Amino acid sequence: MPESTRISNDFDFEFGTWRVHHRRLKERLVGCADWEDFDGTSETRPVLGGNGNVEDNLLEFPAGSYRAIALRSFDAAKGTWAIWWLAATDPHRLDVPVIGRFRDGVGTFLAEDTLGDTPVLVRFLWLNTDTATPRWEQAMSTDGGAFWETNWTMDFTRA
């Protein structure tokens, strides 16, 4: 199959319906050690003929529930994925996409963004993708990636 028509199955592990346990720092990049735990659900399905997918989330925050989606697309020529986040709390704003790939079962995705007025490097990791309990982690760095603060984790179990 020509490179430009190659289909990636990197995210096939996530297709279907999941229960999700979230753990999120209450404040980011200020030395906070206070975490909040909450649950949610997620359903992921392929789009773009297999070179993309949509993850539809219900997040049950302590302060109230809301919906969000992760939209992913694969660039076959570069062998990379882009991931965007769109939340119902800000329905006209797509987050800056994180871009990356899977190597040895670990997905690593990076983007330059800002938190308030502070430039940050954002990292998404997909871990344990070959198990029944995949894990997603988000981290941020203010020093170009020398130090990472993990600020959100999601642990998935099949619904």
HSE-up (13 A, CA, CB side) for residue 91? 3
Do strands 35-47 and 106-115 pair parallel, antiparallel, or not at all (unpaired)? unpaired
Structural domain spans, the chain? 3-158
Per DSSP (E only), the strands in the chain are 16-25, 35-47, 52-61, 64-75, 80-87, 98-103, 106-115, 118-127, 135-141, 149-158
Give me the phi and psi of 83, to 5 degrees please: -125, 125
Q: Which CATH number fits domain 3-158: 2.40.128.20, 3.40.190.10, 1.10.260.40, 3.40.50.720?
A: 2.40.128.20
**Do residues 45 and 53 make contact, with C-beta atoms less than 8 angstroms apart?**
yes
d(CA 75, CA 99): 10
Please give the chain's pLDDT, 159 residues, in tens: 444 567 789 999 999 999 999 999 999 999 999 999 999 999 999 999 989 999 999 999 999 999 999 999 999 999 999 999 999 999 999 999 999 999 998 999 999 999 999 999 999 999 999 999 999 999 999 999 999 999 999 999 999
Give me the phi and psi of 91, to 5 degrees please: -70, -5
Verdict on whether the full-model pTM lies above 0.85: yes
Residue 7 pLDDT: 76
